[in-house]
Amino acid sequence: MKKFYEQLTDKEQWKGLLMGNHAVARAMLEAGVKVITSYPGSPTPEIAEALNSVPQDMRDYHFEWATNEKVATEVAFGSSINGNMSVVFFKSVGLNVAADSLVQLGLMNLTGGLVVILGDDPGANSSQNEQDNRHFARMSYIPVMEPATPTEAYKMFLEAAKLSKKHQMPIILRLTTHVCHAKELISFGAIGESNGYKAEFDVNNGPYLPITKTVFPLKKKAMEKLDLIRKESERSPFNNIYSPFGCKEINGKKLGIISSSMPALSVMENLDKAGKPVDLLQINFSYPMPEEMIAGYLKDKDEVIIIEELDRIMEYEIKALAFDRDIKCRILTRKTHDDIMGELTSDRTWDIMTGHWPEVFESGIKPVTQPFANPRIPQMCPGCGHRSAFHAIKQALPDGTITVGDIGCHSLGFFEPYNMGEMLLSMGHSNGTAAGLTIGNEKRKVLAFIGDSTFFHAGLPAIINAVLYDHDFTLVVMENGTTAMTGHQPHAGTGEIGEKISIDKVLESFGVKFIRRIDTYQQKKLTEYIKESLDHKGFSVVIASHPCMLKFMKQQRRKEGFVQKHVEIDQSKCERHLTCIEDFGCPSFVKNEDGSITVNEDLCIGDGSCRPTCPVSAIDFKKEAK
Amino acid sequence: MKDLNIYMCGVGGQGIGLLAEVMLRACHKAGYDVKGVDTHGLAQRGGTVVSHLRIGKKIHTPLIPSGKANIVIALERLEGARAASEMLDEGGKVIYYDAEYQTIGNRLGKFKYPTHEELEATVKAKNGESVRVFEEELSDPRMQNIVLIKKMIELEWIPGVDTAIVSEALAELMQGKMLEKNLELLKA
Ligand SMILES: Cc1ncc(C[n+]2csc(CCOP(=O)(O)OP(=O)(O)O)c2C)c(N)n1
Ligand code: SF4
Ligand code: SF4
């Protein structure tokens, strides 16, 4: 059996069951991509997982985790104008960070080619919103391809790379969560001869400097390129008609559906099931829209529903097209606000179809489902250092303290039983928001959190701002030595990439006057430091540190002779204070029918961080493991 | 054979990723056309994790419509009960490992943790069948998924997915001691 990286780098053709993200990584190797950059974020990190699985000396490409998405975009841009095929990828909201540079890319001659892979997240499965990045593409004059399946993601990447190189312009490959993670059997092509890195930047390929004089010509060229790409989308095999039962008049009307990417699959399934002569125009090479193809489709129909996921983007463009060309077809919308939210699975898509054409797609065959009222809210792992930090910090906060959350595992502190981190905008927002909360506020203390990856990603400007104005709040850096929530990627402070950059030294060099560092398992001391820091007039920082225990335990379990420790509760000592379960809240504790508390040994990692929380010291390491 | 929708669920950290990957590969090796998708969100443990596996010739989307699962494979009782309520089709089958991972709502007394009887009643109401699996002597909780697969093979719910095929799938996904231990359990 070949190892995964051996398959991934196999020069010959092969077939395999792969997820969309891994298939795209293979496509990069086939397309001769030289430079790939990213910042972690679901649903795309498995692209990096695949690329990083290949031993360094076997790589014919350079991959880097950049400090944030904007830096990642700039690195990819730089390598592209040097003549290297380049890729940058990140999650949906990553585009907001990248935007300042990304919106310029369409104006530039990207001689090596550049594909931007976006992981959009309809349904907000693992994101703070479900923003529809097709808007950004339009604002930036960048074409968009939207694969529906892993196979298509693979094929579209190859096509995107080709077009990008040919037209020297960026192309967006917009994946969505369940395209990234879907798995199916895919047939891959061969990998050609290596073409080496280039250093061919030539200012005459530009201009690359958008100043007043050049902006108009650059913008004009971008629009002309889009016109050329529109011709490609008109003849693209990714835009096609699905017609399992043909299209004939039903009650005197010819009916059709226009859809794209994953919702188009839902429509196909529904058409198969219904057995009615209604067909589907699937537009997966979606921007610039193939106007001739769509106009032709509309002319042949009396009514067409536009079924796209999230915002009404295709719909408005298609309506404008029909209006301009005086096409009589009725174009039907998704009617409700709910239809603009979440993923359009086949059952939800069926409801949209039934809503418009109840005589064609019967309702009433609703499945026998019942919502299950017993939510499982995600929690920090057993032994997580963030938990000890929240528990200790809570003891130190005067009534009325406002706590500002940020992105990362510690954002789960908002849930019971900690209820800390009461607002969240984006990565690195906490210091800015906290500063605003202090202005003119003599009454209430303000405390902000930030993770260590976020500190470097987007935290620094607002920290500098807080230092300059000496804004009166306390920042707690929740340092766990990794970018945990997205799957333990390295960052500037971990020492896995280059030499570790010390958060303490960075803060000292900024001139922060109050800095304390403490391991979060030392809860008493942490509580003291927080009290002190809140008393300190002006900006203060406490670095609350403990390694991510999920990562740590994974490493420990791999070691020879590893023995799993646990804690147990001495039932003769326990007075049912319930501090362990109700305040500290490690998920390993079990509340039994009789009211007693025990430990679930499947979950407990035996770190003992719960011990100091028990007022009668009833929790201790289990005897045999001592 | 009729198309089959197999819905797998559990709590983050229980090894549903491996369960799903083994099932996907085993069904493929048994000659079926397969599509799957894991809906794993975040790294940390403790949330609901699910995976969809669909087999059949004319499947387009990997996502099982709600209430259309023919088979539910649950690694934990509460998640099994949730899937039985929300995903199981009329006449569907549920196999669950009887691990009990309380939610924060359970521990704070806001929600009751479901009993076996409640889970089984939900399945009965849909004219389905449920199978409880529990292995008292299991040393490593991360092998509960293998115990479930073993039972699945015995029940022959997916024709053609047998011990040999599952062993082959396992061998593609792990090696050394880990593989030995899992194979031993599977073949015991
Ligand atoms: C702009 C942006 N990029 C990426 C993400 C994805 N993301 C979610 S949580 C997280 C981890 C942050 O790491 P860290 O600050 O170290 O906190 P930890 O999870 O380790 O506690 C990331 C990168 C995001 N939400 N927004
Ligand atoms: S992944 Fe690490 S940081 Fe995140 S909750 Fe688990 S132990 Fe804590
Ligand atoms: S020792 Fe066990 S019960 Fe205590 S905090 Fe750690 S994992 Fe939780």
Residues 6 or more apart from A137 whose CB is under 8 A from it?
A: A143, A144, A172, A174, A287
Residue at B4: amino acid letter: L
State mean pLDDT over A107-120.
Answer: 98
Query: Which of these, B86, B166, B77, B67, lies nearest to B130 by C-alpha position?
Result: B77
In three-state secondary structure terms, A361 is coil
Instruction: Annotate A375-403 with DSSP letters as a single string.
Output: -----PPTT-HHHHHHHHHHHHPPTT-EE
State mean pLDDT over B131-140.
Answer: 90
Contact A23, A186 (CB under 8 A): yes
Residue A425: give its domain's CATH number.
3.40.50.970
What is the SS3 assignment for A2-57?
Answer: CCHHHHHCCCCCEEEEEEHHHHHHHHHHHCCCCEEEECCCCCCHHHHHHHHHCCHH
Residues 6 or more apart from A78 whose CB is under 8 A from it?
A: none
Residue A270: give its domain's CATH number.
3.40.50.920
A183 and A310 part of one domain: no
Q: How far is it, in rounded angstroms, from Cα A286 to Cα A293?
A: 12
pLDDT digits (tens, 9 = 90+) for A553-568: 999 999 999 999 999 9
Q: Enter the tokens of residue A356.
A: 């418009």
Choice among A341-355, A532-546, B128-142 with the minimum mean pLDDT = B128-142
Residue A314: the pLDDT is 98
Q: How far is it, in rounded angstroms, from Cα B20 to Cα B62?
A: 13
A620 burial level (CB within 10 Å; 0-12, 13-18, 19+): middle
CA dihedral B123, B67, B91, B47 (to 10 degrees): -40
Q: Between chain A and chain B, how many beta carbons pairs sit less than 8 Å apart? A: 183
Q: How far is it, in rounded angstroms, from Cα A477 to Cα A456?
A: 11
Q: Please say which residue of A516, A532, A553 terminates a domain.
A: A553
Residue A207: the pLDDT is 95
Residue A478: the pLDDT is 98
State mean pLDDT over B114-120.
Answer: 96
Q: How far is it, in rounded angstroms, from Cα A433 to Cα A449?
A: 11
Write down the mean pLDDT value for chain B.
Answer: 94
The answer to whether residue A370 sits within a structural domain is no
Q: How far is it, in rounded angstroms, from Cα B87 to Cα B97?
A: 17
The answer to whether residue A65 sits within a structural domain is yes
Q: How far is it, in rounded angstroms, from Cα B183 to Cα B174?
A: 11
Q: pLDDT-derived band of residue A371, with 50, 70 and 90 as boundaries?
A: confident
Q: Which ligand 3 atom sits nearest the alpha carbon of residue A586? A: 8
Residue B137: the pLDDT is 86
- pTM, rounded to two decimals: 0.97
ipTM over 0.90: yes
First to last CA, chain B: 30
Residue A612: give its domain's CATH number.
3.30.70.20
Q: Please say which residue of A531, A553, A575 terminates a domain.
A: A553
Number of structural domains in chain B:
1
A229 and A139 part of one domain: yes
**Number of other residues whose CB lies within 10 A of the CB of residue A410:** 29
Q: How far is it, in rounded angstroms, from Cα A608 to Cα A522?
A: 11
In three-state secondary structure terms, B110 is coil
In three-state secondary structure terms, A240 is strand
The CA A567 to ligand 3 mean position distance, Å, reads 7
Q: Enter the tokens of residue A597.
A: 């508390």
Q: pLDDT-derived band of residue A366, with 50, 70 and 90 as boundaries?
A: low
A261 and A292 part of one domain: yes
State mean pLDDT over A483-509.
Answer: 97
Hey, which of A410, A412, A449, A550 would you mutate to test ligand 2's pocket, going by the most ligand atoms within 8 Å of its Cβ? Answer: A550
Q: pLDDT-derived band of residue B39, with 50, 70 and 90 as boundaries?
A: confident
Contact A4, A46 (CB under 8 A): no
State mean pLDDT over A244-255.
Answer: 98
Contact A480, A451 (CB under 8 A): yes
A185 and A284 part of one domain: no
Q: Is the pLDDT of residue B143 over 60?
A: yes
The answer to whether residue A604 sits within a structural domain is yes
Residue whose structure tokens are 């000396």: A57
State mean pLDDT over A113-130.
Answer: 96
Residue B173: give its domain's CATH number.
3.40.920.10
Q: How far is it, in rounded angstroms, from Cα A23 to Cα A103?
A: 27
Parallel/antiparallel/unpaired status of strands A303-307 and A255-259: parallel
The answer to whether residue A311 sits within a structural domain is yes
Whether chain B has a CB inside 8 Å of the CB on A604: the answer is no
State mean pLDDT over B72-100.
Answer: 97
Whether chain A has a CB inside 8 Å of the CB on B41: the answer is yes
Query: A409 CB less than 6 Å from ligand 1?
Result: yes
The answer to whether residue A377 sits within a structural domain is no
State mean pLDDT over B125-129.
Answer: 97
Residue whose structure tokens are 């839902």: A266
A332 and A470 part of one domain: no
* pLDDT higher at B47 or A33: A33
In three-state secondary structure terms, B170 is helix
φ, ψ of residue B39 to 5 degrees: the values are -105, 65
A346 and A409 part of one domain: no
Chain A residue numbers with beta carbons less than 8 Å from the beta carbon of B65 are 345-347, 367
- Which residues constitute the domain of residue B122? 4-187
Q: How far is it, in rounded angstroms, from Cα B186 to Cα B143?
A: 10
* pLDDT higher at A461 or A370: A461
Q: How far is it, in rounded angstroms, from Cα A381 to Cα B42?
A: 11
Q: Is the pLDDT of residue A167 over 70?
A: yes
The answer to whether residue A374 sits within a structural domain is no
State mean pLDDT over A39-50.
Answer: 97
Q: Is the pLDDT of residue A9 over 70?
A: yes
pLDDT digits (tens, 9 = 90+) for A186-218: 999 999 998 899 999 999 999 999 998 999 999
Residue B43: the pLDDT is 57
In three-state secondary structure terms, A99 is helix
First to last CA, chain A: 41
Q: Enter the tokens of residue A273.
A: 């099931």
Number of structural domains in chain A:
4
**Which residues on adjacent β-strands are paired with residue A173?**
A117, A145
Of A182, A272, A346, the CB nearest to B65: A346
Q: Is the pLDDT of residue A123 over 50?
A: yes
Query: Which of these, A304, A321, A301, lies nearest to A356 by C-alpha position?
Result: A304
Residues 6 or more apart from A461 whose CB is under 8 A from it?
A: A428
A496 and A616 part of one domain: no
- Which residues constitute the domain of residue A272? 239-356
Q: Enter the tokens of residue A414.
A: 């908002």
Q: Is the pLDDT of residue A624 over 90?
A: no
A81 and A202 part of one domain: yes
Q: Is the pLDDT of residue B1 over 80?
A: no
Q: How far is it, in rounded angstroms, from Cα B122 to Cα B86?
A: 10
Residues 6 or more apart from A378 whose CB is under 8 A from it?
A: A412, B12, B41, B42, B44, B46, B47
Query: B43 CB less than 6 Å from ligand 2?
Result: yes
Q: How far is it, in rounded angstroms, from Cα B96 to Cα B147?
A: 10
Contact A181, A147 (CB under 8 A): no
The answer to whether residue A73 sits within a structural domain is yes
The CA A583 to ligand 2 mean position distance, Å, reads 18
Distance of CA A446 to the CA centre of its chain: 29
Percent of chain A scoring above 90 in pLDDT: 96
Q: What is the CA radius of gyration of chain A?
A: 28
What angle separates helix B16-29 from helix B163-173, to the nearest 10 degrees? 120
Q: Please say which residue of A233, A259, A280 terminates a domain.
A: A233
The CA A428 to ligand 1 mean position distance, Å, reads 9
CB contact under 8 A, B85 and A484: no
Contact A447, A402 (CB under 8 A): yes
Q: Is the pLDDT of residue A439 over 50?
A: yes
Residue A626: the pLDDT is 44
Give me the sign of the Cα torsion angle A198, A202, A205, A210: positive
State mean pLDDT over A371-386.
Answer: 93
Q: How far is it, in rounded angstroms, from Cα A414 to Cα A423?
A: 9
The answer to whether residue A145 sits within a structural domain is yes
Chain B, window 87-126: residues with a beta carbon less than 8 angstroms from a chain A beta carbon? 87-90, 99-109, 111-114, 126
How many helices and strands (H and E) does chain A possess?
Answer: 21, 23
pLDDT digits (tens, 9 = 90+) for A585-612: 999 999 999 999 999 999 999 999 999 9
Hey, which of A380, A520, A567, A602 would you mutate to test ligand 3's pocket, going by the most ligand atoms within 8 Å of its Cβ? Answer: A567
A84 and A42 part of one domain: yes
A81 and A204 part of one domain: yes
Parallel/antiparallel/unpaired status of strands B34-39 and B48-55: antiparallel
Chain A residue numbers with beta carbons less than 8 Å from the beta carbon of B109 are 591
Choice among A31-35, A178-182, A374-378, A585-589 with the minimum mean pLDDT = A374-378
Q: How far is it, in rounded angstroms, from Cα A551 to Cα A341?
A: 34
Q: How far is it, in rounded angstroms, from Cα A125 to Cα B102?
A: 22
Q: Enter the tokens of residue A182.
A: 């879907």
Query: A545 CB less than 6 Å from ligand 1?
Result: no
Q: Is the pLDDT of residue A625 over 60?
A: no
Instruction: Annotate A263-331 with DSSP letters as a single string.
Output: HHHHHHHHHHHH--S-EEEEESEEES--HHHHHHHHHT-SEEEEE-SSSSSHHHHHHHHHHHTT---EE
State mean pLDDT over A170-193.
Answer: 97
Write down the mean pLDDT value for chain A.
Answer: 96
